Structure 1
Amino acid sequence: MNPALKQDIYVSTVIDSHNYGTVLQAVATRDVLERYGRPVFIDYCRPHWTTKGWIKSYMDNTNRNVPERLARLVANAPVRHKSSTLFRSFVERELELCSSAPYLARGEGFDSNAVYCVGSDQTWNIECNYGIDPVYFLKNVPEDYKKVAFSASFGRPSLSAEEVALTKPLLSQFDAISVRESSSVAILEEMGLSGTALKDPVLLCRSELWRELSVGVPAAADGYVLVYMLNANPGMCAFARELAERERMRARIVTFNPLKRAPEGLEGVCLPKPEEWVALFRDASYVVTDSFHGTCFSLLFECPVIVFDPPKFSVRLKDVLGDFALADRRAADGRDPMAIADAVIDWNAVRASKEKFAKEAKAFLDGAFGTCVEVGQNGR
């Protein structure tokens, strides 16, 4: 593609949460969209993820008295600062950013020649985002401007009638919609809208991207069981220890708070850089996780994965495992986790599925983005 003809693609996706999957899906989105133009990411922080919102969440906790709330707030402030700095520096290094101001209140600053894109991640999860978020729904972008959804997610298997009434008018303005789960296609169909199910961008980007990102991280000297756990689950930790003991290797766990010890018998890796996090999956012998992106990166690096359901939003895990014909990797419904660890994964079939998914994404995106136009001057 001639660089002079690249169109601007303004991308609204989640980049504010201190989460590895979040920032890595944004990098994968950039990698995919670079084939169609110049991705520029809206630099947006949801109100509850700002420092003010974080303080409010502590002070509004009526389960504790005011002195206890203040004590916890002060104790956790250094942890939040370290986490925020870690993820923010990665975002600023990897993504081209633009102001979110025009997207928060209808006004000037939009480019009629650009494409406005939402996704990936749970941009349309009304519960997580505390209602309709104007940035993630492109609410203030003029109706006649081109809007595309790329692997967006509702994060839940269904919406209430009230949520549908709020969501449908906004999604009706989109020229093309793709969503991350087949369950989200059903939600769209119930609204009378059409949508295409595509996978998460981390599964659709260039296969070389993740090794390029982690190339500077030395390979591990020996094998290990990696635990990536987003929800406290002693059963997961106990299983990981048992598996590691059987295989005579270490059990390592990603932790998020330097003030807390890792669970007994597990070697903590506290707040690794995103590229180090990728390398942990790259070098693991087994992965035990309750995370959607933990599952995705296990598949990307062809590492045997044992998946435990999280307390909420497990539909994403069920869908992605089902998409790869790996539903039996879930330690649920009475399945023995050790038997899951011993079951052989057909990696040739996984690769074939990834190729199929990439072709489907290309077909959708080719149609959605069309012919490039000259870069606009008004949207930066």
Structure 2
Amino acid sequence: MKVGVLTRHAVANYGSVLQAYATQKAIEKTGHESEIINYIRKDEFDINISKTMLFRNKAWNSNLLRRIVYIILQTPVYTSTFRTFRKYTKRLLKETRRVYFTSEEIQNNTNYDLYCVGSDQVWGQIGCSEYDPCYFLDFARDGEKCISYASSFGKDSISESLRKELPKLLIKFDNISVRESSAKELLAELGICSHHVLDPTLLLTKKEWNEIADDNQKYHGYVLIYQLHDNKLLEKYAKDFANYIGKRLIRISNSFLYYFKSGKLCYMPSPERFLSLIKNADYVITDSFHATVFSLIFERKFVDILPTNTGTRIISLLKMLKLEDRIVTDYDDFSKLENEVNYINAKKILSEERRNSLFILKEMIEH
């Protein structure tokens, strides 16, 4: 069977690119073929991204002068980042040659045995919209099979308006699976049955990720920081720990502005090198879900400093693996990072969950 996959593949984010890659590989593991439907919203495309980000930034969107300054400064940055990541996705993913900007374009120009949406935050705020009906497969015709794999709202709670719409948005789905236990509970409250499954990046083994990791790098014996949210406490913790342990601090970022932050900036590495930087780090300090995932896969010493609004997915994963102790709450305490991670138990749990999730994915596709 040929599966048309709709996911957040074109976002300038390592987790988004690598989860799309993993979804394709996981579907291949079940014995089927897949193709990423190359859907990119116009408000997330190229030069429009800076306007979208401004819309969501209350501080810079407060008056006309601030808006003008933001657009002038950020448009070249976002445009360059978007185009660089598009090169990465074209190399790693099997995409449709055509780029689609609307549901209608997808409906009139695609033909698959079934459609699969997921994973990542496909059911949360996207661009300038509270949610995007396209990620609820609104383009699928009557009788066409629809499933979701590891879809996420990104948060524990959703708006009342989306809650009211969900039964209608999900009515055409034959099977639903979600990434967080909180999402499963939320859907259950609405009388919607779903499976709780692993993020697709966890469906591939350490060996499979090693096959694409680029180990041709110059850094050795370092503390790695990968930070997605503005958090001075996280930055201070990473800097203080690197000084305490006497190791170099390496920072991954898509923004050259982080050149002025603590640590040696590794600016916009390829996804393959991103994997290698985590794989070869002595310690990883992050607020990123997918940096946490790859720290687990490569069995690194790591800690999470949770972001304010989107920490639910990290908490859900660490609870499942009995590793909640990797969450930092005392910013003067380095013992969590120094302590060994109980990978013996975590790998047993992960192996079982991987088998279960792959079984569910295969069942959803075939039945």
TM-score where L is the length of structure 2 = 0.91
- Within-5 A mapping of 1:286-365: 286-332=283-329, 334=330, 337-365=333-361
Cα distance in 2 between the residues matched to 1:57 and 1:178 = 29
> Tell me, which stretches of 5 or more residues in structure 1 are unaligned?
1-6, 372-380
Matching residue's letter, 1:321:
L
* Contact 1:132 1:167 (8 Å CA) reproduced: no
Cα distance in 1 between the residues matched to 2:164 and 2:202 = 32
In the other structure, the counterpart of 2:280 is 283
Matching residue's letter, 1:296:
V
Task: Please list the CA deviations of residues 41-74 of structure 1 after superposition, one character each: whole Å capped at 9, or x if unmatched.
Answer: 01111233123532534776542434x5334323
Q: 1:281 to 1:52 in 2, by over 3 A?
A: closer
**SS, match of residue 123 in structure 2:** coil
Q: 1:128 to 1:314 in 2, by over 3 A?
A: farther
Task: Please list the CA deviations of residues 66-110 of structure 1 after superposition, one character each: whole Å capped at 9, or x if unmatched.
Answer: 4x5334323333322331122101111111222464961284334
* Contact 2:133 2:169 (8 Å CA) reproduced: no
Cα distance in 2 between the residues matched to 1:176 and 1:323 = 23
**SS, match of residue 37 in structure 2:** strand
> Tell me, which stretches of 5 or more residues in structure 2 are unaligned?
none
Cα distance in 1 between the residues matched to 2:115 and 2:23 = 13
In the other structure, the counterpart of 2:9 is 15
1:74 counterpart (68, 72, 75):
72
1:31 aligns with 2:28: no
Cα distance in 2 between the residues matched to 1:172 and 1:207 = 37
What is the deviation of 1:162?
2.0
**SS, match of residue 252 in structure 1:** strand
1:109 aligns with 2:109: yes
**SS, match of residue 206 in structure 2:** coil
Cα distance in 2 between the residues matched to 1:249 and 1:324 = 29
Q: 1:129 to 1:356 in 2, by over 3 A?
A: farther
Q: 1:229 to 1:186 in 2, by over 3 A?
A: same
1:42 aligns with 2:41: no
In the other structure, the counterpart of 2:196 is 197
Q: 1:260 to 1:248 in 2, by over 3 A?
A: closer
Task: Please list the CA deviations of residues 263-314 of structure 1 after superposition, one character each: whole Å capped at 9, or x if unmatched.
Answer: 13x1111111111111110100000001111111111110111110112111
Cα distance in 1 between the residues matched to 2:108 and 2:52 = 33
- Within-5 A mapping of 1:1-380: 7-35=1-29, 36-51=31-46, 53-57=48-52, 62-66=61-65, 68-98=66-96, 99=98, 101=100, 104-105=103-104, 107-111=107-111, 114-126=113-125, 130-214=129-213, 216-218=214-216, 220=218, 222-264=220-262, 266-332=263-329, 334=330, 337-370=333-366
Task: Please list the CA deviations of residues 323-349 of structure 1 after superposition, one character each: whole Å capped at 9, or x if unmatched.
Answer: 1111111112x4754121122211111
In the other structure, the counterpart of 1:377 is none
* Contact 2:27 2:33 (8 Å CA) reproduced: yes
Cα distance in 1 between the residues matched to 2:239 and 2:174 = 50
* Contact 1:253 1:267 (8 Å CA) reproduced: yes
Bigger Cα displacement from structure 2, 113-122 vs 92-101 = 92-101
* Contact 1:253 1:262 (8 Å CA) reproduced: no
Cα distance in 2 between the residues matched to 1:259 and 1:156 = 28
Matching residue's letter, 1:299:
L
Q: 1:126 to 1:359 in 2, by over 3 A?
A: same
Cα distance in 2 between the residues matched to 1:127 and 1:12 = 14
Please report the RMSD computed on the Cα atoms of aligned residues, expressed in angstroms.
2.3
* Contact 1:220 1:283 (8 Å CA) reproduced: no
Structure possessing the higher relative contact order (Cα contacts under 8 Å, 6 or more residues apart):
1
Bigger Cα displacement from structure 2, 54-63 vs 79-88 = 54-63
How many residues are paired up?
A: 360
* Contact 1:58 1:73 (8 Å CA) reproduced: no
**SS, match of residue 125 in structure 1:** coil
**SS, match of residue 139 in structure 1:** coil
* Contact 1:31 1:206 (8 Å CA) reproduced: no
Task: Please list the CA deviations of residues 155-200 of structure 1 after superposition, one character each: whole Å capped at 9, or x if unmatched.
Answer: 1112333212212112121111111011111011111111111111
Percent sequence identity over matched residues?
Answer: 28
In the other structure, the counterpart of 1:378 is none
* Contact 2:88 2:271 (8 Å CA) reproduced: yes
What is the deviation of 1:219?
5.1
What is the deviation of 1:206?
3.7
Matching residue's letter, 1:26:
A
Q: 1:27 to 1:127 in 2, by over 3 A?
A: closer
* Contact 1:318 1:327 (8 Å CA) reproduced: yes
**SS, match of residue 148 in structure 1:** strand
**SS, match of residue 251 in structure 2:** strand
* Contact 1:102 1:140 (8 Å CA) reproduced: no
Cα distance in 1 between the residues matched to 2:155 and 2:110 = 31
Cα distance in 2 between the residues matched to 1:230 and 1:353 = 28
What is the deviation of 1:135?
2.1
Cα distance in 1 between the residues matched to 2:87 and 2:277 = 20
* Contact 1:58 1:69 (8 Å CA) reproduced: no
Matching residue's letter, 1:341:
L
Bigger Cα displacement from structure 2, 41-50 vs 100-109 = 100-109
